Structure 1
């Protein structure tokens, strides 16, 4: 009877909060369904496909372990701040959702603070830059359906999960002869990407009032870049992928240097060493469950990106131990946000050069 009373006692705002929370998980399930059932060809999986399917499961389990830890922390933190924390669990749960902006709380925890942003910026740069362009180009070339679902899944679940599923879709979808390599990118794509890069650069300078709008604009721009568009788009102001990748690489490098220097200068002058920097970054990674979730998303995303590049894009002469070691080291130091546009751009440049020689 107490459970039924709890349902009857909920007011409109509590029901609305519970509905939004349930809708969030319904959206996740719906996106997984769209991708698994309508975008990936399971009959062409192969051994490499199983690798990325395994990476999908591992990254999802790891990042969402911390995401559920964050929700648990947020609930108990809310309970500790109010006097009346007794009553039915459903009522307390609904009150927590009504009085807590979970999205803003999570992103605030991972963006404010020099070392917090040092971690989070890596994911923002990778997503806003190289990955969006990569989806737009390779998705069209391989005829992959519902590209928007991968971007939206990355935004509501984890970029590592979405990127691994997209790599899986590429593996199971051979390039279409009817859709040759994309030679130009429309202003809608490159404009959205460059504007989203600007929002990444502005993030450390936002206030409590401007932080959320800036973040929402970033997410909206990235989704707009991969929405379906007309088969024949106007070629005016179109940009070569190689040029866009180069711009992204330069912008990402500048932003990473700025963020790294800012974090480094927060260390005590007597302990400003690479070792101290690494220790502080590691401590920050586990300083908050939301930070751990996005931090490990960075790690999984970077790891999967390198595996994809060296198994699917790099030429035979670029797969030596030295090449792989250098790429891993540079990605660890500079981030996937810098290395992805550099390596993807190099791949595009090689293909363009080969095409000219034909």
Structure 2
């Protein structure tokens, strides 16, 4: 039986409000960095290349596309979750009681596990995880790119972009980071931050562990181990972007000599990360084909993958994040002539 005068669950309301506020604050911090550097480029008229300004507007539009698509469906996740609760026996019991919006919203949030339910939903079938698993791959690869270019372009607080990816969408944070690079001055080849690289194991280990953890995520959907497994790669991807040279890391002369070797190292490293991403997606594809049936025609496979995008608002949000990541990364490669060295500021 429902309570006649249920209390307002301020804690539950505060959790959602904090989440939305943090997302807005992180976005503002990134946009402030972009605005400050854009003003400097405009004032000094020292854009790194003649096409840089056009690329700035291109990736700004892509960031807008990303936030519009992913968060339209994210708000639909909230609506879907509330509707599910409101039509449940408990929600129906409260529907006969006159109560204000905050009381009803608090009851809904207290009884719902929004984000856990969303991630379990996008991970519970091989067809859905064919989409959602890709966002893990994009995040892992981007964490390495974020660390390298963040140091080279002297972008402050690069970990904010990673946190923004966790709170909003990977593609949105990635596009804002691309925009930040585009409004930044050329990397200083005499700067130790340009040439410095941490011990290889420190960079490789978080990537390997994140990839292995991603393989385990769909296996444990709807089980108690799911959330720890889900959160582990979300933590590990912060490691590369928190690394940087300490005091006395080296002289400018040493940096000049080391810079080219560091660039070659990172070109090879990113190629291996890309190969691991392809292998990971091939494995997800094999699982998906096994689930739908190996004798199913390609057209039917495509239809089922498209159906998975719109099976649930959470699936739509993650799938569109994947689509936007793919589009943005592809265009970043195109504008740099598919030259990995140029993409990481090595030229």
TM-score tier after normalising by the smaller chain length? 0.7 to 0.9
Match of 1:205 among 208, 219, 223: 219
| TM-score, structure 1 normalization | 0.79
Contact 2:23/2:168 (CA < 8 Å) preserved in 1? yes
Q: 1:241 to 1:170 in 2, by over 3 A?
A: same
Alignment partner of 1:184 is 2:180: no
Separation in 1 of the partners of 2:186 and 2:165? 23
The answer for the alignment partner of 2:234 in structure 1 is 219
Contact 2:70/2:169 (CA < 8 Å) preserved in 1? yes
Separation in 1 of the partners of 2:342 and 2:315? 32
Contact 1:18/1:94 (CA < 8 Å) preserved in 2? yes
- Could you tell me which runs of 5 or more consecutive residues in structure 1 were left unpaired when the two chains were aligned: 1-5, 316-343
Cα offsets for 1:100-145 (capped at 9, x unmatched): 11110111111110111000111111111x2111111111101111
Contact 1:286/1:292 (CA < 8 Å) preserved in 2? yes
Residue 204 of structure 1: how far off its partner (Å) = 2.0
Residue 194 of structure 1: how far off its partner (Å) = 1.9
The answer for the alignment partner of 2:49 in structure 1 is none
The answer for the alignment partner of 2:324 in structure 1 is 300
Task: List aligned pairs for 1:1-358, cutoff 5 A.
Answer: 10-11=7-8, 14-38=9-33, 40=35, 41-43=37-39, 44=41, 46-81=53-88, 82=90, 83-86=92-95, 87-128=99-140, 130-177=141-188, 178-179=191-192, 181-182=194-195, 184-186=197-199, 187-207=201-221, 208-227=223-242, 229-231=244-246, 240-268=265-293, 270=295, 272-314=296-338, 344=340
Contact 2:74/2:314 (CA < 8 Å) preserved in 1? yes
Separation in 1 of the partners of 2:293 and 2:148? 45
Q: 1:52 to 1:250 in 2, by over 3 A?
A: closer
- Could you tell me which runs of 5 or more consecutive residues in structure 2 were left unpaired when the two chains were aligned: 43-52, 251-261
Q: Any runs of at least 4 consecutive aligned residues in structure 1 with deviations exceeding 6 A, and if so which? A: 345-348
Cα offsets for 1:26-70 (capped at 9, x unmatched): 101110121111355122372221111111112101111111011
Separation in 2 of the partners of 1:181 and 1:274? 47
